[in-house]
Amino acid sequence: MILEAAGWCFIATSPLIIGAWIAFGFQPSSKIIGLIMGFGAGALIAAVAYELFPEPSYQHLLSFISLGLGAILFYLGTSLIERRSRGKGTGDANEQTRMGKTIVLGALLDGIPESLVLGMTLAVGGALSIAFFGAVLVSNLPEGIAASAELERGGIPRHNIYALWIFVMLISVISTIVGVMIIQIAPSAEGVNAMAIAGGAVLAMLADSMIPEGFREGGRLTGLIVVLGFAFAAILGVIG
């Protein structure tokens, strides 16, 4: 079971590496990167609405507290990134590096709870949700492309960027294994609050980075692309 869960998690997070390869190999323009961010933002909004904070969460006060906790964790993480960036001076390269690291942080804070829940779901013999798995795949690819492009423009070597995504994938796989172990120890455990934490972190990341940067780079067309990303992920929800 542990190997199966780890394998599914590896597949779900592999678009982060694939996105980096696309960013490096095709060198998309700033406008394309902005539109990709918009599509990923729309998919993530749908993931939060339908998968990370679904209707049953509204019945539990702790879910709302967890949602806020996720946002606070993201805020603290980005505050640390910003302070370190200020110590390295100002300029476009420094800002692009900060933006890329912010998206990576969002992917990490999103990936840990998602992976925990993935492991818990498989451990109890539940069917893998097409909507949940598809939303993770759809959102990870734009995150991988956008963050990698921003980091490279900020002067970060490609091998370091790949290493960063491998670290995120490794933490996610470990989280999936932990999820399996939690169910083995406490069969009645639920992952609702873990998902809410992920939802809070994702919403904060969207407001802080992906949507503003998407509009700055992609222009007004980004608004339409956000809706397309949302619709695509929502369709997966209907299928699942």
**pLDDT one-digit tens code per residue, 191-205:** 778 878 888 888 998
Instruction: Domain of residue 66: give its range.
Output: 2-239
Dihedral sign computed on CA atoms, order 223, 129, 51, 48: negative
pLDDT for the residue numbered 84:
75
Q: What is the pTM of this model?
A: 0.81
Kindly tell me the sign of the dihedral angle through the C-alpha atoms of 34, 39, 42, 48: negative
pLDDT > 90: percent of the chain: 31
Q: What is the pLDDT of residue 185?
A: 82
* Cα three-residue angle 39-43-45, rounded to 5 degrees: 115
Residue tagged 């780890």 (tokens): 6
Helix (H) or strand (E) holding 60: none
**Cα–Cα distance measured from residue 213 to residue 99, given in angstroms and rounded to the nearest whole number:** 8
Q: What is the mean pLDDT of residues 53-72?
A: 81
Domain tally, the chain: 1
CA-based radius of gyration for the chain:
17
Identify the three-state secondary structure at position 199.
helix
165 alpha-carbon distance from chain centroid: 12
